[in-house]
Each structure stands twice: as C-alpha cells, then as structure tokens.
C-alpha cells in the first residue's frame, strides 16, 4: 500500500500535513511531528503587519533615537504566541531545515501589496520546500468592489510567486462568488496550489461589558464539509493542487478529503488537543481502511468522489440543496405535523 504522494511537486511520504499553527512554534514540537510520521509541516505564519512593523521599527530607531521607540512598538497588536519578528522566524526555519528530514513550508500571511512580500525570498534561502501564502482579508469597505479586492489579492500572489522558485499554495477563505474561476486566476498569477480554507474567527458581543469579543474555537469533523464540497467541485477544473484545511480529525476525514480530490490533508485542532503522536493513529486508520477496501495507493482514490467522477453530479449543485431542504421530516411527536 502506497501512502507516498506529491503535493505541488514536493515529495511526501504520506499526505498528512501539520497546518500553520503553534505546532511549529519550536524545534521540539516540529521534531515530535516528524517522529510521529507527519508528511510535511507548514510553519506558523509570519504576518504582513509584523514585517511592516519590523521595518518601521528599524526606520524609527535610526531616524528618531531610542527614546521615542516605545510608542512605535505599543501600537502593534501582536498575535499572542506569534510575537517573533522576521529574523526569529527565519532562524527557526533554518534550524528546522537542518535538523529534520520532513519538508517544511513557510507561511506568509497578508493580502495587500508591499515590501513584505520580499520575505518570500528569505524563506526560500532559509530552506523552505514551499510557501503557503495566507490571503486572510475581510472586504469591510463598501467602496471596494469584489473585482478590486480580487485584483489586489492576485497582485500580491504575483509578487510572491515571482520572487521565489518554490511552489506556492494560496490559503483562502470560502467566500468568493465564483471560486473555481478565482482559483484559475490564482494559478495564472503563479500559484501551484490552494489551501481550503481559512477559518473566519467571528466576533461576538459581551452584553455586560459591551465589548466586542473574539474566541478561538477548535474545529470538529463537521467543519470538513465545506472544504470537502469545494474540493470536489474544483478537482479536475483547475490546475492547482488542493490541500484541505479544516475539520480533519481522523482517518475517515482524511480519506474523504482525498476522495474529493485533495493532494494533502492538513491538521491543527486534532493535534493541538491530542498531541503530535495522534498522527500515528490516523495513519494506521488510513492504511487499515485502504487494506480492507483494496486500495493500493492514495493516488488511486484521489478525486473518485469529485464532481466530475460521481455518477450523480447534482449532489454538489442546486438540485441537492432542494433535495436536502425537502428531506426534513418533522418529529412525529412534535407540534409541526
């Protein structure tokens, strides 16, 4: 049984990938991921704001002297746990490259144009096997049309992809009016793959303090259904490799992702809760299922449940929506008859 595969041309011993998260915050946990059998690691993100801040800080330092420096650092909202600058990121990447065998991808996180994209080159020089560019962006300005926002993102992809000779996967959210068309435009801009999807961490309100709050909730297997649906639609329609990120917690979840058409199955929540060693169990679940169902390789099953390969393609389209709504059966003991 062959678990080896390729993702964007990167050779993987299996398609399980640790997604960008605190799992890669230090060499020790990256080593644990490798020892447990992970196929590749995407490091946590270096954010556009961090890079811009680093260079602002340097400029401020040089221009105005150290006494005014405190103000400059105080305005930047560092993501907790990610308060390392670009240099520390590159140092860790290089150390991991030297210490581990597993492919390591670096992650850049930003959407607007600017000098920060040049960090992609530094990441390549530090030994990354590939890049993930996370385009997390909320189009909250009513003046900007969808086309303008997409064009801005595409320009950023062009900047990053033309800076490196590494494969670049673009991590996006699910809210595009015409996702397959946008993914084709990402490929034309230089992307080798897409990572589906960014999680949108919504805000909530605390009615007592009248504060806007934000809580980070880990995923459940149910969250896989959205990327699964879109992977099945994209497979065969776009020349981008697909990594599913969101809701993969067990072997069955990963197998579903491959059957939809994914080249890689990324995981964070399951590994944060159960530790890197959980990978061993998931690999066993995948291998056990494949043996029982006589699959010889991951490549053999890839895309077998995609829109282009299922006998009833309406399952992914509008007809299914009508079917699902019509399938609701009221509880016979309830009020709705």
Q: How far is the CB of 272 from ligand FMN (least distance, A)?
A: 6
Closer Cβ to ligand FMN, 247 or 276, answer by number: 247
Under DSSP, the state recorded for 112 is S
DSSP letter for each residue of 125-157: HTT-SEEEEE-------TTS-HHHHHHHHHHHH
13 vs 5: CA distance, rounded Å? 6
Closer Cβ to ligand FMN, 233 or 248, answer by number: 248
Closer Cβ to ligand FMN, 129 or 295, answer by number: 129
H or E segment to which residue 18 belongs? strand 16-18
| Cis bond upstream, residue 50 (ω within 30) | no
Closer Cβ to ligand FMN, 5 or 45, answer by number: 45
Closer Cβ to ligand FMN, 103 or 295, answer by number: 103
Count of other CB atoms within 10 angstroms of residue 327: 7
Is the separation of the CB atoms in 29 and 279 below 8 Å? Answer: no
194 vs 186: CA distance, rounded Å? 8
Q: How far is the CB of 169 from ligand FMN (least distance, A)?
A: 10
Q: How far is the CB of 171 from ligand FMN (least distance, A)?
A: 5
Residue 249 is encoded by which pair of tokens? 């917690």
Residue 293 is encoded by which pair of tokens? 């169902």
- How many residues can be counted in the chain? 337
| Chain contacts with ligand FMN (rule: CB under 6 A) | 19-22, 44-45, 107, 109, 134, 171, 199, 216, 218-219, 223, 245-248, 267-269
Q: How far is the CB of 189 from ligand FMN (least distance, A)?
A: 19
Under DSSP, the state recorded for 79 is P
Is the separation of the CB atoms in 245 and 19 below 8 Å? Answer: yes
Closer Cβ to ligand FMN, 21 or 306, answer by number: 21
Q: How far is the CB of 255 from ligand FMN (least distance, A)?
A: 15
Q: E strands, 34-114, where?
A: 40-47, 104-109
Closer Cβ to ligand FMN, 3 or 282, answer by number: 282
Q: How far is the CB of 296 from ligand FMN (least distance, A)?
A: 27
Q: How far is the CB of 319 from ligand FMN (least distance, A)?
A: 29
Closer Cβ to ligand FMN, 154 or 224, answer by number: 224
Q: Which residue has the tokens 């811009």?
A: 52
Q: How far is the CB of 1 from ligand FMN (least distance, A)?
A: 24
Q: What are the angstrom distances between the C-alpha of 273 and each of 37, 110, 267?
A: 17, 27, 11
């Amino acid at each position: 049984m062959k678990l080896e595969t390729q993702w964007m041309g990167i050779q993987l011993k299996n398609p399980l990938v640790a997604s960008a998260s605190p799992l890669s915050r230090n060499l020790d946990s990256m080593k644990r991921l490798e020892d447990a059998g992970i196929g590749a690691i995407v490091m946590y993100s270096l954010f556009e704001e961090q890079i811009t801040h680093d260079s602002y800080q340097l400029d401020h330092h040089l221009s105005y002297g150290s006494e005014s420096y405190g103000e400059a650092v105080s305005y930047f909202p560092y993501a907790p746990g990610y308060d390392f600058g670009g240099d520390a990121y590159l140092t860790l990447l290089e150390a991991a490259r030297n210490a581990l065998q597993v492919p390591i991808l670096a992650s850049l996180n930003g959407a607007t144009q600017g000098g920060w994209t040049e960090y992609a080159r530094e990441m390549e020089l530090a030994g990354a096997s590939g890049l993930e560019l996370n385009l997390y962006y909320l189009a909250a300005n009513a003046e900007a049309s969808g086309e303008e926002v997409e064009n801005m993102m595409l320009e950023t992809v062009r900047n990053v992809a033309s800076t490196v000779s590494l494969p670049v996967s673009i991590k996006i959210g699910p809210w595009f009016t015409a996702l397959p068309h946008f993914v084709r435009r990402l490929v034309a801009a230089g992307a080798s793959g897409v990572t589906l999807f960014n999680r949108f961490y919504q805000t909530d309100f605390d009615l007592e303090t009248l504060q806007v709050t934000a809580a980070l909730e880990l995923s459940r297997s149910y969250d896989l259904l959205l990327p699964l649906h879109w992977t099945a639609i994209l497979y065969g329609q776009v020349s981008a490799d697909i990594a599913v990120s969101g809701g993969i917690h067990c072997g069955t979840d990963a197998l579903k992702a491959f059957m939809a058409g994914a080249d890689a199955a990324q995981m964070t929540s399951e590994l944060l809760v159960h530790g890197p060693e959980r990978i061993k169990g998931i690999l066993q679940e995948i291998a056990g299922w494949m043996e029982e169902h006589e699959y010889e390789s991951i490549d053999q099953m890839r895309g077998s449940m995609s829109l282009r390969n299922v006998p009833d393609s309406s399952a992914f389209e509008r007809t299914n929506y009508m079917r699902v709504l019509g399938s609701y059966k009221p509880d016979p003991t309830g009020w709705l008859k």
